Structure 1
């Protein structure tokens, strides 16, 4: 996982947790705008989310944050 993707995921998770609490769920799409302006980054995230970790569409932000921090 690239440092830029890791940083982006952690920022989004922190923001969502601060806004809605520790039980907030997020999807892979929370890290990207509706316009696909970074397809390489999206594919990297999708591979990590779907293929590497076999995560569900929605997961708890604290779980995603813990997974990212384990690298």
Structure 2
């Protein structure tokens, strides 16, 4: 996983947690704009989320942040 994607995921998780609390759920789409302007990075996130960790579509942002920090 690239450091740019890892940093982005942690940043988005921090923002969502600050806005909506520790129970907020996110999907890997939360890390991207509605327009798919970076398909390579999207596939990298999807592979990490779905294949590597076999996560559900929505997961708690605190869980994702923790996984990222330990990855």
Instruction: Report the TM-score when normalising by structure 1.
Output: 0.98
Whole-angstrom distance in 2 between the partners of 1:63 and 1:28: 13
Is 2:41 aligned against 1:26? no
4+ residue runs over 2 A deviation: none
Query: What does residue 56 of structure 1 align with?
Result: 56
Unaligned runs of 5+ in 1: none
How well do the aligned residues superpose, as a CA RMSD in angstroms? 0.4
Aligned length: 71
Instruction: Report the TM-score when normalising by structure 2.
Output: 0.98
Whole-angstrom distance in 2 between the partners of 1:6 and 1:24: 19
Unaligned runs of 5+ in 2: none
Deviation at 1:54, TM superposition (A): 0.2
String of CA shifts for 1:10-59, please: whole Å, max 9, x gaps. Answer: 00000000000000000111000011000000000000000000000000
